[in-house]
Chains A and B, each alone.
Chain A
């Protein structure tokens, strides 16, 4: 009975699940190759290929300053992504957005004239707050 149940599971597994499994396997593989995770044996030829040994970075205890800089970099990329979106990407769709009109403003026009600007102002204050919190967490703030 138990064996049958296993079989049934094997047969009737929905297609979407298999896709997910495939995608996960792909990510795992690229993780193994790029980040150099996995078996010891990989190390040698990882080093030959990429010029640095494959060491799982998560397993090395990082000094506080290194962690601090990792977090700072992550925040930097997040802010730049938002900046890029509101500087460029959203304005690619100006013609479509112009069909939406709120308070007389066609939205495509509005975002270039006001919307993106408001985002920029808020974004800088948000960044300052986040970065200050990271400073304090790692004991590198000024006070």
Chain B
């Protein structure tokens, strides 16, 4: 592949076209095997191992000995493919498996996540991606260190990056463990390390280049796996294979049934779980957090040009949109099914899927009034069930359940790859090369990068294997932390020339500190909520604190040097080469 690189990039459509076709053929082949009587467990094994084998194959083919290939995939990823890679980088195991379930449980209020996790890309496109691409950094802290002249800003950047990425990557490895253990029937602790292998084979040899091309492959699998069951459901119920269009009818039926059953928390009704203040705060924090998450921003360092970086953000959001605008359809179909065929039935004669998921405790039935009939309030459904149980709800063969598992695995693995690379690159490039040993040659830097990657991965996997419930519930904090700690320094660094080194450092420290104090104080310190804003939206205080501090301190300190101002001017125009020499 090293020799035929040009050929590979030119033939991307063909290669991934064949790959997608091959994958569909594989699904059909397994469906035939199932009809011939091959047991479910074997089908589950084939799905998990064959997809991981494909990722490993791509990872090994993409191995590299060049720094720019390892850190930014040689800056030759076309916008549309970078979009797909960003899509799977972005959509985690939780998005894939849990998003629709959250919408099922929260109704309208859950849409804060759908909005928050998409709108942030507008900010990425306009405020950051093209300029960071022009600057030509390898990592996000690298930009901070150069723009704000020194190791203080760089170190703070690394700290914030670590704070928002590490809990996140632990949760992804945890998710791969859950999926692998459920479909392979192995103990969770072992499954976590199988997941770890799946992650390492993709990223260790080829860095960003290998992660990019596996993420594209993973996107194709996850989107196929997400869409097929719900398209099937839409076709069966309404005769049109466009769930995103037909679930309007499901919403109407739900509204009618809700009235009959006497449910007061209506699916379409806004502000039943969140008050308006919390609803909009959450959207705000998720959007600004999206625009500052290092593992997302670094994907836009890989496009061939500034122009392509802009377009690539559009493609990224398009590919994310395909899944996110389908999730509410999943939720509506699942709710309709429950209202139609589960609630009000004899508990002895419920549909089979209720029983299957009840056995592993994800569906709970509690006949409170002991009349033998299931009431709405007597049924508890775990949010992960909605996507995982849809194949059974729709009466689809087991092969589709295996497909969904492969999709969830692809989503979790691809996000873990991206996060791990963001953390390890910050440590190897920013800490080791920039701060510890600037004389290191490229061979040594690559070796260090790989060693750090393995250490971080093993540590995260070990942590995941202990099932740390606290850490898993902290994942949602990542957005507020990134938004408070990084967003103001990044945006002002490009858009306000007057931002000084001291201003940025003080702003990052203030934002990060305020956000952390609120998060930890309200969760562990018995601190009351300020203005009733929930813990998850801590950025509502961190973001203004960071902006205010940056501006005030910048105005109090002498303006940046002429060289730095020229540097910012240079960054603002696309023309010319990237501005940093990585040697």
Contacts and interface: CB of A to CB of B under 8 A. Distances in A.
A138 to B, nearest CB: 8
B245 interface: yes
A75 B310 CA distance: 14
Interface residues of B, number: 49
Contacts of A72: 572
A94 B324 CA distance: 20
Contacts of B310: 124, 127-128, 131-132
Given A87-B283, A104-B248, A140 B575 contact: yes
A112 B112 CA distance: 8
Contacts of A141: 307, 574-575
B280 interface: yes
B115 interface: yes
B122 A124 contact: yes
A24 interface: no
A128 B305 contact: no
Contacts of B493: none
A135 B574 contact: yes
B119 A124 contact: no
Nearest to B287: A87
Contacts of A76: 126-127, 495
A124 B121 contact: yes
A76 to B, nearest CB: 5
A68 B573 CA distance: 9
Given A113-B111, A120-B317, A95 B270 contact: yes
A108 interface: yes
Nearest to B109: A112
A103 interface: yes
26 contacts: A76-B126, A79-B122, A80-B122, A83-B119, A83-B123, A88-B284, A98-B268, A104-B249, A104-B250, A105-B251, A106-B251, A109-B108, A109-B251, A112-B114, A113-B114, A117-B321, A117-B325, A120-B119, A121-B314, A124-B125, A127-B126, A128-B310, A128-B314, A131-B310, A139-B575, A142-B575
Interface of B: 108, 111, 114-115, 118-119, 121-123, 125-127, 130, 244-245, 247-252, 268-270, 276, 279-280, 283-284, 287, 305-307, 310-311, 313-314, 317-318, 321, 324-325, 328, 495, 569, 572-575
Interface of A: 65, 68-69, 72, 75-76, 79-80, 83, 86-88, 91-92, 94-95, 98, 101-106, 108-110, 112-114, 116-118, 120-121, 123-125, 127-128, 131-132, 135, 139-142
